Amino acid sequence: MFATLSDRLADTFKNLRGKGRLSEADIDATAREIRIALLEADVALPVVREFVAAVKERARGEEVSQALNPAQQVVKIVNDELVSILGGETRRLRYAKTGPTVIMLAGLQGAGKTTLAAKLALWLKEQGKSPLLVACDLQRPNAVNQLQVNGERVGVPVFAPEPGNGVGDPVGVARRSIDEAKRTLHDVVIIDTAGRLGVDAEMMKQAVDIRDATQPDEVLFVVDAMIGQDAVTTAQAFLDGVGYDGVVLTKLDGDARGGAALSIVSLTGKPVIFASNGEKMTDFDLFHPDRMAGRILDMGDMLTLIEQAEKAFDAEESAAAAAKVASGDFTLDDFLQQMQQLRKLGSMSKLMGMLPGMGQFREQLANFDDREIDRIQAIIQSMTPAERANPKIIDGSRRSRIARGAGRAVSDVNQLIERFTEAAKMMRQLASGGGMPGMPGAPGMAFGKRAGAKQQAKPKKGKGARRSGNPAKAAQEAKAEAQKPAAANPFGNPGGEEIDYEAAAAQLNLPKDFSKYLK
């Protein structure tokens, strides 16, 4: 979504590297490039002016002039200002103290309200809530049926007493849904309302009537992040006509420039609460301004990546996999299981994009084929259990059979086995505490029982005197050893007495001119 803006800002900051001090011309040039980058990203002009003015004012201040690295300080300033125009801090839902919490969704047709209602219901369900979806979009064809299908997908009931398709009273349905939620003990009600292709008086009146009939705790304006400057106009129209408490951005995974996300908060004063960034029902989460700013500046979003991993990975399976790595018993079945767990996190290109500095590889990430995991799975599942447990037995004829069974070339099988062999070797190296192959071992890199334990160096066994197992004979050997004379000193001092070095030097037949070196 913010690829254009991110690339332009990255190029701007490159010009600042290596400068020990920023001149007035440097600051003006940087501000000009930032202004162009924001305008190209479809950010509203008033927001651009305010943003650039704030950056220039801070860049001229003491925090940059006295900084050891002025370029990094400017990046920090831009990051802070981005967080500020995106809302400053994460805004969370407000829940009712008594009775069901009512959440009303409003927005134009095509913004994705019906799909987002189901995503929100699934998110609330994962938070321990019991949501109820309400079909109040009785205008758009098959809107009621779509909500019922989505509700079934996420396992959330749908209250839809009217068939829709232009039939029924949406205000009456909304009012009755509150009583239905109380009767069935649902603590959250999500009302999906009708939209139009454009803002009109009829739609506004219906939304206002539903709002007055249900007294929602939260009114969320759902906006398509791909519609550019129109998003700000529509957001202001809904704010004046209906009023809302927060914004939900949809289609953040699109290829639009994303200026709407940077403009709505600043111009309307309403925070972005949620963001939808994919087609799956799980592609939905709270909107974090600081994390979004980090993505725009190519600093990554490790917190979101960690949270997704914690939700997708099973703790027991992860512990079992770590134990197998520690024991060195890592098979192709385990390798496939790790690949399948990664798939639960979503698109690999999206995951890699959350890592810092991956903006420079954006083109490669965009061309990454997520079906590669399917091909790996087909090859591994074409092997016998014995071959998966011990790939060393896979000779040429077996590789040909596996390739035919998976519908792949023999070279693909060879490549997979080579990858697995290298991965297993690296894991064994890590498990033994030796660090990465070819690198010195690092403390704390061991897995399993060895992790965290103090490794005491064992003395090497030399070829010292051997003692007999017979106690009497061992005592005789010890007595004989004690009576032996002390071993001769290799430096010529057998008794250990003090040596007269001057007398010893006088006995040496040295040249006359060499005596000065002995003084």
Q: Is 455 one of the annotated binding-site residues?
A: no
Q: Is 217 one of the annotated binding-site residues?
A: no
User: What's the CATH superfamily of 3-85?
Assistant: SRP54, nucleotide-binding domain (1.20.120.140)
The pLDDT value recorded for residue 458 is: 44
The pLDDT value recorded for residue 304 is: 61
Please, are residues 437 and 426 in contact by the beta-carbon 8 Å criterion? yes
User: Angle at which helices 315-327 and 332-344 pack, to 10 degrees?
Assistant: 150
Q: Is 461 one of the annotated binding-site residues?
A: no
Q: Is 399 one of the annotated binding-site residues?
A: no
The pLDDT value recorded for residue 389 is: 85
Tell me the pLDDT of the chain averaged across its residues.
75
Fold for the domain defined by 310-443: 434 Repressor (Amino-terminal Domain) (1.10.260)
Q: Is 250 one of the annotated binding-site residues?
A: yes
Q: Is 194 one of the annotated binding-site residues?
A: yes
The total of other beta-carbon atoms located within 10 Å of residue 99's CB is 12
Global pTM value: 0.61
Q: How many Å apart are CA 96 and CA 94, to the nearest integer?
A: 7
In sequence order, which residues have a C-beta less than 8 Å from that of residue 244 and are 6 or more positions away? 106, 219, 220, 221, 238, 270
CATH architecture of 101-299: 3-Layer(aba) Sandwich (3.40)
Domain edges within the chain: 3-85, 101-299, 310-443
Distances (CA, A) of 170 to 115, 139, 473: 18, 9, 104
In sequence order, which residues have a C-beta less than 8 Å from that of residue 339 and are 6 or more positions away? 373, 376, 377
Q: Is 111 one of the annotated binding-site residues?
A: yes
Residue-wise pLDDT tens digits, 478-507: 666 666 555 444 444 444 445 555 565 555
Pick the closest to residue 38 from 266, 352, 356, 366 (CA basis): 266
Strand pairing category for 158-159 and 131-136 = parallel
DSSP 358: G
Q: Is 94 one of the annotated binding-site residues?
A: no
Q: Is 398 one of the annotated binding-site residues?
A: no
Q: How many Å apart are CA 379 and CA 408, to the nearest integer?
A: 8
Percentage of the chain lying above the pLDDT 70 cut: 65
Q: Is 488 one of the annotated binding-site residues?
A: no
Q: pLDDT tier at 124 (50, 70, 90 boundaries)?
A: very high
Q: Is 5 one of the annotated binding-site residues?
A: no
Q: Is 231 one of the annotated binding-site residues?
A: no
pLDDT > 80? residue 45? yes
Q: Is 56 one of the annotated binding-site residues?
A: no
Q: Is 114 one of the annotated binding-site residues?
A: yes
Q: Is 109 one of the annotated binding-site residues?
A: yes
Q: Is 107 one of the annotated binding-site residues?
A: yes
Please, are residues 160 and 154 in contact by the beta-carbon 8 Å criterion? no
End-to-end, the C-alpha distance of the chain in Å comes to 82
Q: Is 164 one of the annotated binding-site residues?
A: no
* Beta strands across the sheet bearing 101-106: 158-159, 131-136, 188-193, 101-106, 218-224, 246-250, 272-276, 284-286
- For residue 49, how far is the Cα from the chain centroid? 32
